[in-house]
Every structure is written in structure tokens, then in C-alpha cells.
Structure 1
Amino acid sequence: MKKKILLAAAGLFSVVVLGACSGSSSQEIATMKGGKITVEDFYNEAKKEQTNQSLVRNMIIYKVFENAYGDKVTDKQVDKAYNEQKESLGDSFDTQLKSAGYTTKTFKEYLKQSLAFQEGLKAHVKVTDKDLKTAWESFHPEVTARIIQASSEDDAKAIKKQLDDKGDFAKIAKEKSQDSTTKADGGKIKFSSQSSSVPSEVKEAAFKLKNGEVSDVISTTDSSTYQTSYYIVKMEKTSSKGNDMDKYKKELKKIAEDTQMTDQTFTSEVIAKELKKANVKIKDDSFENILSDFLTTNSSSSAATNSSSSKKATSTSSTESSTEATDSSTASTDSSK
């Protein structure tokens, strides 16, 4: 279940920015009969590319969040995130790191920015009782199971036939599973409804099983690579959540927080607030619209608030005396300021 590392595109535009900012914009990149290409020429062309526009936007957002929340991220957290990425990718880690234009130092700097961004989102999260009840509906406590990941659907069906013929699940997992994380231990794994160690389709199938039961072949599709994988899961030790929600309040709060932090509307609103707080100004006209989505979100939110205040003032004026209506109007104006 290895996942491709999420590395920012650090290469092309970083070179351009460094060249432009170092005072060497007239430096020649190439010469030819009748002309030349300078760093400035390169910069002027590169900044028009949509990929680079997006990169600058991300650089601004990450910088804003790092400045505001970077002190909440420890070196220990950064090292943990780094080691998790390295362990997940195994032998391909160094190659992917290099191909993305990172060194160990710069990748850790990127991870710190990512963690600071998460801290910033978390600072705006407000979990209500309704959120906890929603999380409870799909919650399932931790179970112990075994999984086999097959290389193809045909292989998965052949393995399922072996299991149906009373084959030993752990032994077959050691021999044939493509999941390097669990293979050595006979496919053994623990997960709950909020775990990301197995695909959601596998979790759903597992939670329906009783102890000792084996699932049918389960197909899953990776949303980032569109690659289909095939699994078989055996339940070793399941448990019911029961009726006492308070028993799992800590887990439910984490689920509710994660749900908010992955909601696009919530994320955009938080980014808009932080950009406004940081007083971000775009100085290069080529990038004047890169934050428009977030600035619009913020403006729309303010407009909605002002509209609500206006309606409230109108309603008040129709039911109260003329003097009270005037006071209400004044208060509304002051609030708007």
C-alpha cells in the first residue's frame, strides 16, 4: 500500500525566482546568432504558465501559515513525518526526493510548512455536539484482521479459491500478498473506521465480517493514480461500538476535526481569513488573480454578514419605535465599520 510521495514542484519556478531575486536577471542562459535568452526572459515567460501561477499561490499560502503557526510545529513532528514518507516509499524515496528537486533539508522545510498549514486549519476548527453525533454514525472501533493484496483480479480469485478450500490465510499471505507492510506477519493488521492504512472499501467489507469470516474479492481504485488493486480480508477480532458514545469521545472529536479540515469550503474560508490577517499584497501584475478564489470567499462571507445585519435592522425598524430604529441603524453601521 505504498503511496507516491506528495512533493511540491520545487524545480522550475524556484530556479526562476532565485535567479530573478539574486540581481542576475540579465545573466545569459543561452546565446545564438542574432540574439540571446536571459534569466529575465525566462522569468517573464515562465510566470505565465498556470503551473507556476499555482506554485506561487501555494508558496504565499504556506508562507503565511508558517509565519503564523510554525512555532507550533516541533522538530520531532517534522522528523516523524519525514521518516513516515521514507518508510512508505522504501528504496524509491531518494529517487523521488531528487526528481522533485529536494534535499533532505529542503524537504523537511516543506514538511514543516505542511504541518504548519494543518495547525492553522486546526486552530479554526469548532466541534459541536452535532458533529460528534455525525461522526458516531459511521464510527467503528479498532479491529484485528488479516489482508492479502493480489497483483491482479485473476490472482485474487485464485487465492480466494485456495482459502475456500481451507487454505491457511496467514501462510498464503506470506507467500502471495503484494502488501509489503503486512506480508511478513501473515497479513495481520489493526485498523478502525478512521484509519488510513487500508482502503475504505476494505474497511467497509471487514466491518461486516464476524470473527473467522473471509470476504470476497474486494476491488479498490486509487483516486490519485487511478490504479485498481484487489484485496481479500479475514476478520480476526472484531468489536461492537455499543451505545455509549462518550466512551469514544476522543476518537469522535478527532474524526469531526479531520472532517472539517478536509472540507474544501472550510479550508478556503480559513485561508481567506489568514491571508487577510497577514495583509498579503500582490506586487507583480502577472500574479494579480492567483488569490482571487480565497479573496472572493472572504468578500462573499463579509457580504453575507452585512446582508444579514441589514435585514435584521429592517425588521427591527418595522416593529420598534422610530428612535429605537435609528439607534439600531447606527449600531449596525458601527458594527459594519
Structure 2
Amino acid sequence: MKKKILLATAGLLSVIVLGACSGSSNQDIATMKGGKITVEDFYTEAKKEQTNQSLVRNMIIYKVFENAYGDKVTDKQVDKEYNKQKKQLGDTFDTQLQSAGYTKKSYKEYLKQSLAFQEGLKAHLKITDKDLKSAWDSFHPEVTARIILASSEDDAKEIKKQLDDKGDFAKIAKEKSQDSTTKKDGGQIKFDSQSTTVPSEVKEAAFKLKNGEVSDVITTTDSSTYQTSYYLVKMEKTSSKGNDMDKYKKELKQIAEDTKMADQTFSSEVISKELKKANVKIKDDAFENILSEFLTTNSSGKQTTTDSSK
């Protein structure tokens, strides 16, 4: 779902810029007895829609970050992200791109803005000892395990019975696992606490297992599709992180950075600072409140940028 929303965002752009792109705001869209609907009429109403309000807000923010950090984004990075999303969406990519109103060129321009936004967040990152300690608390080093993705809950329970009766996990994984990536290798997979190759519920269950142990049936729910899946996991080779944080300093720093980058409070603070630095001013009253999440209102009713560093 998230990928589809990402691609669908641009479809709203045609609504918000119709008045500017039609040559004349007085151009008729429709006529009827006793009246008519002009581009200006449509544009006035369109500006009130919450989706278009959100779109303009995002356009402003992305433009500010592109101006400030776009030079840090290379064409190679854009192409890499483009090809990554194309691979993830597979055969539906071109269709979604077209239905969202993007061309290959315009979508790459959007990706450049998105990457520039990420660069802007990174520029404000300051990792503290407290951040590293929090990363350490949630960190688990890489393990080697085997997983089976069952076709249903009943199938998972039946497989569990076979495993309890000394069934060969690798053999059953090759025969019955629905995970096409791992089944050919008997379900074998490596992951750590930050890996995204397996659901978090599977990781949590796996980290509690000793070598050779098999989990109970693990129920997971995809946050994008809300689809429920059923897994079994066998620990092949686990590892303890011990007590030496310095041994994993690089990994912990990356975890701390990723955590802060995903934090909404941090993002809002950075956006506020960048809007102030760019001296953003809203000229159209229809959009006067679109940056209220990042701005404060003074006694005159005009919005000013919050400097969160104070």
C-alpha cells in the first residue's frame, strides 16, 4: 500500500496547477443555462481540498530541501532508487507511474527531491551517547536460522507437529514453505535485529531460541496490506552481543541514525529550521495554515517559523 500511495501522490498535482497551466483562468470548463464553470472556479474550490492542501505543503518542503541539499544528490543515486522501486513493483511499475501522472523524467525529479530531503535530515543528525545506549538495548547480532512460511494457520500447525515428531526442517521447508527466496536453501537465512528480510515477530521469536530449537507457530501482520502470515523458525547459529558496545560501534551508530531519521519530532524540528532559513512566506490566503505544523502564529495573526533550537 505504501508504494502505491507514493506513486499516487503526483496525481493530485494536475488538480492544483490546472488554473496555472490552462492559459487563462477564465477559460470555460462547462457552460449551462444560467451559468458556467471556469478554470478559476475550479481552482478556487480545489485549493480548499485537504489532499491539495497537503500536496502544496509537501511541494514547499521538498522544494526548500532540494534548493539547500540537491547538490548532494547524484544522478547515480537517483537511478539506483528508481531501479530499486521498479524492481519492487515489478510489472505494475509502469502502469502505476502512468496512472499517477508521472513520466520517467518527472518521477526521477521527484526522487531527487525525496533524496535531498533525506540529505537535509542527515545534515542535522547529532548522535549522543544516550542514542547509542538505546541502540545497544535493542541490538542483536546476526544469526543463522531457517524459516518456513506456511500457506495457512492450519498448515503451520500441521508442520509444527511434523517438526515435533523429528521432521527434517530443511526438507519440509523445501517442500512446503511459501517463501520463494529461502525455500530452495531449506529455509536458511541470516538476519540481525535491524534486518528487514523477515518480520519483526519472527526476529523476536528467533532471538529467544537456542541452537537447534524450533519456535511455536508465529503469527505476523503486514502493516501495509494487513495480511496475516504464519511462520516457523529454527535457530541454527545464534550469537550473544556480550557486554562490549565498542565491538559493534559501527552498527550501533547506524541504528541510532536510522532511529532518529524515522522520528517525527526530529523531522519536524529540522523542517522548521529549514523553512526559517529559506524565509518561506505563504502568499495565497487559501494556504495560510498549511505549514502550521511547523510554524507558530504571532499576535498579528501571521505565521512565523518556529526555531526549535531555542
Q: Quick one: which amino acid aligns to residue 299 of structure 1?
A: T
1:212-231 mapped onto 2 (5 Å cutoff): 212-231=212-231
Deviations 1:187-231 (A, max 9, x none): 332211112222211111111112222211111222333332222
Deviation of 1:172 after TM superposition, in Å, equals 3.0
Deviation of 1:29 after TM superposition, in Å, equals 2.9
Deviations 1:85-123 (A, max 9, x none): 222233333333333333332222222222111111111
Distance 2:55 2:2 in 1: 22
1:194-205 mapped onto 2 (5 Å cutoff): 194-205=194-205
Deviation of 1:64 after TM superposition, in Å, equals 1.0
Distance 1:181 1:26 in 2: 57
| Farther off after superposition, 179-188 or 41-50 | 179-188
Unaligned runs of 5+ in 1: 306-337
SS of residue in 2 equivalent to 1:132? helix
| Farther off after superposition, 203-212 or 169-178 | 169-178
Task: Look up the match of 1:20.
Answer: 19
Q: Quick one: which amino acid aligns to residue 306 of structure 2?
A: S
Q: Quick one: which amino acid aligns to residue 287 of structure 1?
A: F
1:157 lines up with 2:157 in the alignment: yes
Q: Quick one: which amino acid aligns to residue 18 of structure 2?
A: G
Task: Look up the match of 1:334.
Answer: none
- Cα distance change, pair 291–161 in 1 and its aligned pair in 2 (3 A): same
Task: Look up the match of 1:120.
Answer: 120
Task: Look up the match of 2:292.
Answer: 292
Task: Look up the match of 2:301.
Answer: none
Asked if the contact 1:5–1:85 (Cα under 8 Å) also holds between the matched residues in 2, the reply is no
| Farther off after superposition, 199-208 or 36-45 | 36-45
Asked if the contact 2:72–2:116 (Cα under 8 Å) also holds between the matched residues in 1, the reply is yes
Asked if the contact 2:7–2:97 (Cα under 8 Å) also holds between the matched residues in 1, the reply is no
Asked if the contact 1:201–1:220 (Cα under 8 Å) also holds between the matched residues in 2, the reply is yes
Q: Quick one: which amino acid aligns to residue 172 of structure 1?
A: I
Q: Quick one: which amino acid aligns to residue 146 of structure 2?
A: R
- Cα distance change, pair 224–6 in 1 and its aligned pair in 2 (3 A): same
| Farther off after superposition, 249-258 or 72-81 | 72-81
| Farther off after superposition, 195-204 or 34-43 | 34-43
1:138-177 mapped onto 2 (5 Å cutoff): 138-177=138-177
Distance 2:240 2:277 in 1: 46
Asked if the contact 1:3–1:89 (Cα under 8 Å) also holds between the matched residues in 2, the reply is no
1:35 lines up with 2:43 in the alignment: no
Asked if the contact 1:9–1:55 (Cα under 8 Å) also holds between the matched residues in 2, the reply is no
Deviation of 1:79 after TM superposition, in Å, equals 2.2
SS of residue in 1 equivalent to 2:125? coil
1:295-306 mapped onto 2 (5 Å cutoff): 295-296=295-296, 299=306, 301=308, 305=310
| Farther off after superposition, 208-217 or 144-153 | 144-153
1:172-321 mapped onto 2 (5 Å cutoff): 172-296=172-296, 299=306, 301=308, 305=310
Distance 2:103 2:177 in 1: 33
TM-score (norm 2): 0.88
Task: Look up the match of 1:320.
Answer: none
Deviation of 1:3 after TM superposition, in Å, equals 6.8
SS of residue in 2 equivalent to 1:215? coil
| Farther off after superposition, 149-158 or 291-300 | 291-300
Deviation of 1:6 after TM superposition, in Å, equals 4.8
Deviation of 1:168 after TM superposition, in Å, equals 3.2
SS of residue in 2 equivalent to 1:147? strand
- Cα distance change, pair 300–62 in 1 and its aligned pair in 2 (3 A): closer
